[in-house]
Amino acid sequence: MIRSFLLLLLVFIYISGLGETGYSQQIAKKTILSLGREDIDLLIDLTYSDNFDIAEAAVYRLGQLKEKKAFDRLISIFLFSGPSIEKGFDAVILASIWSLGEIGDPRAVDPLINNYNRFTSVPYRTQIIRALPKITNTDTVFNFLESVLKSTDNNMIAFEVVDALEKLGRIEALKVLSMVYDSKKFELWVNKKIEKVMSKLGDNKGNKPEDKK
C-alpha cells in the first residue's frame, strides 16, 4: 500500500512538474532511489524527464541496480550529449557514465574511449577513466589508460589514471608508471600515488619497482 502510494506520488510529481519545488524534489528523488528491479521500465521512462534532477536520480538508480536492460538508454544519453546540451543536463550525463561503469557491459568500452576527447572538462574525463576498469580488464582499456597517462599534464587526470591502473593490477603498467614518475611532471601527491601503485605491482611481480632493470 505504501509502495503504491509512493509510486503514484512520484508519477504525479513527474507529470505535474511539481518537482521544481525543493521539497517535492526531495520526495521525488528519495522515491526514485527506493525503486527496485520491478520498476525498471518506470526508471527508464524517468530518464527522459525535463526535470534534470529527476532524470539524474533515475539514471543513478539504474546504475545502482546494475540493470543491463538500461544500457541502450544510458549509452544514448552519453553519446548524444555535447556543447549544445541544456544547462543542468551535465549531471545526467555524468550519472550515465557512472552507471555504465556499474552495469559493466563491455559494449560501453569503445564509445567511452572513442568519445573521451570530445569532453574537455576534467569531471567528464575522470568519470570515463573511473568507469573503464569497472567494465573490463582488456588490452583496449589498458592501452587507452597508458596513452592518457603519457599525454596528460593534468594532475587530477593523472591521479585517476594511476588509480585505474591500480585497479587493473597489470604488471606491464610498471613501465609507463616508471616513465612518468621519472619525468617529474606531476605534483608530489600524484607521485606519491604512483609510488604506491608501483610498489604494489612490484610486490605482485615478486620484486620491488626499484629492482627493475
For residue 24, give the C-alpha cell: 517535492
The sign one gets for the Cα dihedral 59, 64, 70, 75 is positive
Which one-letter DSSP state was computed for residue 51?
A: S
CATH class of the structural domain 1-136: mainly alpha
Query: What is the model's pTM?
Result: 0.85
Distance in angstroms (rounded) separating the CA atoms of residues 59 and 100: 10
pLDDT of residue 31: 83
Contact 97, 78 (CB under 8 A): yes
User: CB burial class (10 A; 0-12, 13-18, 19+) of residue 147?
Assistant: middle
pLDDT, greater one: 1 or 142: 142
Q: pLDDT for 200-209, tens place per residue? A: 998 866 544 3
How many Cβ atoms are within 10 Å of 83's Cβ, its own excluded? 7
Domain ranges of the chain: 1-136, 138-213
pLDDT, greater one: 207 or 113: 113
Distance in angstroms (rounded) separating the CA atoms of residues 178 and 83: 36
- Give the mean model confidence (pLDDT) for residues 82-109: 87
- CA distances to 77, 99, 202, 212 from 132, rounded to whole Å, are 17, 11, 23, 28
pLDDT over threshold 80, residue 18: no
Q: pLDDT for 151-184, tens place per residue? A: 999 999 999 999 999 999 999 999 999 999 999 9
- CA distances to 139, 148, 159, 163 from 180, rounded to whole Å, are 20, 11, 12, 14
pLDDT of residue 27: 76
- Report the percentage of the chain scoring pLDDT > 70: 81
